[in-house]
Structure 1
Amino acid sequence: MLLQLLSRFYFFVFDRLICYHLLKIYSAQFKIRFMNLGYVNDNDGAVNNAIRENGVEESEAPHIGLYEKTLSLHPQYPSLNDCRLLEVGCGQGGGIDWINRSHPSLTSVTGMDRVAIRDSIVTGDAHDLPFKPSSFDIVINIESSHLYRNPQLFFDECSRVLSKGGHLCWTDLRFDGDEKQVLNQAEKAGFKLVSIEEITDSVIRGMEKVAQRYDQILLTAPWYIKLFGDTFRKTYCAPGTEAYVKREKRYWTACWVKK
Structure 2
Amino acid sequence: MEAIGANMRVSSPKKMGLPARAFVTMLRLAPGGIQNRMWKWWYQKLAKANDDSDFRFMNYGFEDGNGPELEADDEANRMFIQLYSMNIRGVDLEGKQVLEVGSGRGGGASWIAKTHTPNKLTGVDFSAEAVGHCNRWYADQSNLEFIEGNAQDLPFENESFDVVYNVESSHCYGDMGAFVEQAYRVLKPGGMFCWTDLRDAKTMVTLPSLFESKGFEIVESADVAKEVIQALDEINEMKMKAIEEKVPQSVRKSFETFAGVKGTPVYEGFVSGSMAYHRHLMRKP
Cα distance in 1 between the residues matched to 2:282 and 2:76: 30
Q: Is the 8 A contact 2:94 2:119 kept in 1?
A: yes
Give the Cα–Cα distance (whole angstroms) in 2 for the partners of residues 200 and 139 of structure 1: 22
Query: Aligned Cα RMSD in Å?
Result: 2.4
CA displacement at 1:180 relative to structure 2: 3.0
- TM-score normalised over the length of structure 1: 0.86
Q: How does 1:129-168 map to 2 (within 5 A)?
A: 129-168=154-193
Deviation at 1:185? 1.4
Q: Are the structure 2 counterparts of residues 81 and 153 from structure 1 closer, same or farther at C-alpha, using a change threshold of 3 Å?
A: same
Match of 1:27 in 2: 51
Q: Does 1:253 align with 2:279?
A: yes
Name the SS for the 1:59 alignment partner: helix
CA distance in 1 between counterparts of 2:116 and 2:2 reads: 47
Q: How big is each residue's C-alpha offset from its partner over 1:153-196, in whole Å with a ceiling of 9 and x where there is no partner?
A: 00000000000000100000122242332111111111000000
Q: Corresponding residue for 1:227?
A: 250
The answer for the alignment partner of 1:83 in structure 2 is 96
Looking at structure 2, the residues matched to 146 and 126 of structure 1 have their Cα atoms a distance apart, in angstroms, of 11
Alignment of 1:110 with 2:122, yes or no, is: yes
Q: After TM superposition, where is structure 1 displaced by more than 6 Å over at least 4 residues in a row? A: 1-5, 11-14
1:8 alignment partner in structure 2: 24
Contact 2:40/2:126 (CA < 8 Å) preserved in 1? no
1:67 to 65, 80, 84: 84
- Counterpart of 2:141 in structure 1 is none
Matches of residues 51-62 of structure 1 in structure 2 within 5 Å?
Answer: 52-62=69-79
Match of 1:17 in 2: 41
Secondary structure at the residue paired with 2:154?
Answer: coil
Quote how far apart the aligned CAs of 1:55 are.
3.7
* Alpha-carbon distance in structure 2 between the residues aligned to 1:183 and 1:18: 28
The unaligned stretches of length 5 or more in structure 2 are 4-12, 14-20, 28-34, 136-144
String of CA shifts for 1:98-150, please: whole Å, max 9, x gaps.
Answer: 0011101x221000000132244111001000000001010000001111111
CA distance in 2, matches of 1:258, 1:156: 11
Size of the aligned set, in residue pairs, is: 245
C-alpha contact 1:93 1:111 (8 A) present in aligned 2: yes
Contact 1:37/1:210, CA 8 A, preserved across alignment: no
What percentage of aligned pairs have identical amino acids? Answer: 28
Name the SS of the counterpart of 1:121 in structure 2.
strand
Tell me the distance in 2 between the aligned counterparts of 1:23 and 1:232: 11
2:153 equivalent in structure 1 = 128
CA distance in 1, matches of 2:263, 2:94: 43
Q: Check the 8 A contact 1:191/1:258 in 2, yes or no.
A: yes
Matched residue SS, 1:23: helix
In structure 1, stretches of 5+ residues that fail to align are none
